[in-house]
Each structure stands twice: as C-alpha cells, then as structure tokens.
Amino acid sequence: MRIGSAVLVVWLLIGLAAAFQRDYFKDSADTCNEASDTVLTIVAGPLNYVGVDPDVDCEVPQPSDN
C-alpha cells in the first residue's frame, strides 16, 4: 500500500512539473479548456514526457435566445 501511494505522489508531482513547464499556472484559467488541460496534464504525469499532450475541447452550454 505504501509503495502504491508513493508511486501515485511521484506520478502527480511529475505531472505538476509538466504543467509548470507549459506555463499553465502563469495566468488564471479563464475557460473550461484551460482548466481541463491543466488538470489533465497533472493527471497524465510522466506520460507528458513521452509525447502525450493532453488537450480537451469542452463547450459550456449557452442560454437560449427565447
């Protein structure tokens, strides 16, 4: 159990380092895309360094014109 927890913490720290390198924390996340890209980069962890570039396209529902 301890080894699994340690691996998870190291995994997330590597993802956090990748998010910092991509300047995701320079400004506040103004859109759904920016926030989700940041979270997904952290969760992807070391995969960021083997070519994975997480990118999410999300659309927020707009109110109708009725």
Residue 66 scores a pLDDT above 70: no
Domain coordinates of the chain in residue numbers? 2-50
- Residues 6 or more apart whose Cβ sits within 8 Å of residue 43: 12, 15, 54
Specify the higher pLDDT residue, 16 or 27. 16
pTM > 0.85:
no
Summary mean pLDDT of the chain? 85
Q: CB-based contacts of 25: which residues, under 8 Å, 6+ apart?
A: 19, 38
